[in-house]
Amino acid sequence: MATEDGGAAGGDEGSFLAGYDPHAFAPVAVTVDVAALTIRPGTAGRGREPHVLLVRRGEHPQRGRWALPGGFVRAEDTPQGPADDDLPDAALRVLSEKTLLPGPLHLEQLATYGARGRDPRMRVVSVAYLLMAPDLPEPHRGRGIEEAAWVPLRELGHGIGGRSRHALAFDHDRVLADAVERARSKLEYTSLATAFLPPVFTITELRGVYESVWGRELHAANFHRKILATPGFVEDTGELAERGGTGGGRRPRLYRAGGAATLHPPLLRSTQ
C-alpha cells in the first residue's frame, strides 16, 4: 500500500525508502539566482556607483535577454561538475563561472521565488542570493552565455536619475528590485557598507557607498560625526591616506571595519 507521500505504508525507515517512488509527484526543478552587487567607476566620467552582474542568455528560453547569473542546482555529479553540497555552494558556483571571487565577500539568501509560469520550461523554484563585495573583476562568458557585464544600477532604474534600459529575463526584475532594497535596508541597520570597501578606507569613501546605494547625497559633516559616534562601526588605523582629499587638502585618516554587526543607533535613510 502506497502512502500519500509516495512511500510504502508501515515497516522501518529502510523499507520506506526502498519503496519510495520519486516520480509520484510532478517534477519541480530548483535553481539559484545571484544578485551580485559591487561598486565600480561609472560610465561617461561618473564617479563610483553600484553595479550588478548581468549575463545575456545565449540559449532558449528567452535567448538574447539579460538576466541575473543563475543555474540549476546539481543534485548529482554531471559531466559539467560535481553535485552541489548545499544551496550557497550552488550560488557561489554559478557566480564563479562568470567572474573571479576574491575575498572578502558577503553572501546571504534573499528570497525564494516559485510562481507558476515564471519559467516556461517547467515548474521552477529559484532561491535567490544577494552578494556584496568590493571591486569584483571583469566577468567572462560561461556556457550558454553570449555576454556578461557589470551594469550600473542606474541604468536599470535603481539609482540617481535611473531609468531602465533593460527588461530582464524571467522574473529577474523583481528579484533585482528585492535585492537592491535589501542592500539599502542593510546599510541602515548593519555595518555591511564596509563589504563594498577594501580593508582600509576613508570616511569619505564610506559615505560614497551610502550615497551610491541609497541614491541620494548626504551631508558630509553630519555623516562623519554619526559614523564616529556609532560604537564598533569603524576603527581608526592611526594612519593617513597617501593623498589629500578633494581640492588637495590634508590627507584624510584611514579606518577599518570595527567588528560591530549591527548599528546602534541605526543610520535611517529618512533622517539623513
Tens of pLDDT, residues 170-222: 999 999 999 999 999 999 999 999 999 999 999 999 999 999 999 889 999 99
pLDDT of 3 above 60: no
Taken in order of first residue, the domains within the chain and their CATH numbers are 29-173 (3.90.79.10), 190-271 (1.10.10.10)
The C-alpha atoms of residue 266 and residue 260 are separated, in whole angstroms, by 12
Question: What confidence score (pLDDT) does residue 72 get?
Answer: 93
Which residue did the predictor score with more confidence, 216 or 158? 216
Write down the pTM of the prediction: 0.85
Q: How confident is the model at residue 37 (pLDDT cuts 50, 70, 90)?
A: very high
Q: Are 207 and 245 in contact (CB under 8 A)?
A: no
pLDDT of 65 above 60: yes
Tens of pLDDT, residues 98-123: 888 877 789 999 999 999 999 999 99
Which residues are CB-contacts of 157 (< 8 A; sequence separation ≥ 6)?
A: 163, 164
What residues form DSSP beta bridges with 190? 262
Please report, to the nearest 10 degrees, the dihedral formed by the alpha carbons of residues 25, 60, 75, 9 taken in order.
0
Which residues are CB-contacts of 35 (< 8 A; sequence separation ≥ 6)?
A: 52, 68, 110, 128, 129, 130, 131, 175, 176, 179, 180
How many other C-beta atoms are found inside a 10 Å radius of the C-beta of residue 162? 14
* Rounded alpha-carbon distances, angstroms, from residue 155 to 31, 151, 152, 246: 26, 7, 6, 27
Q: Are 260 and 187 in contact (CB under 8 A)?
A: no
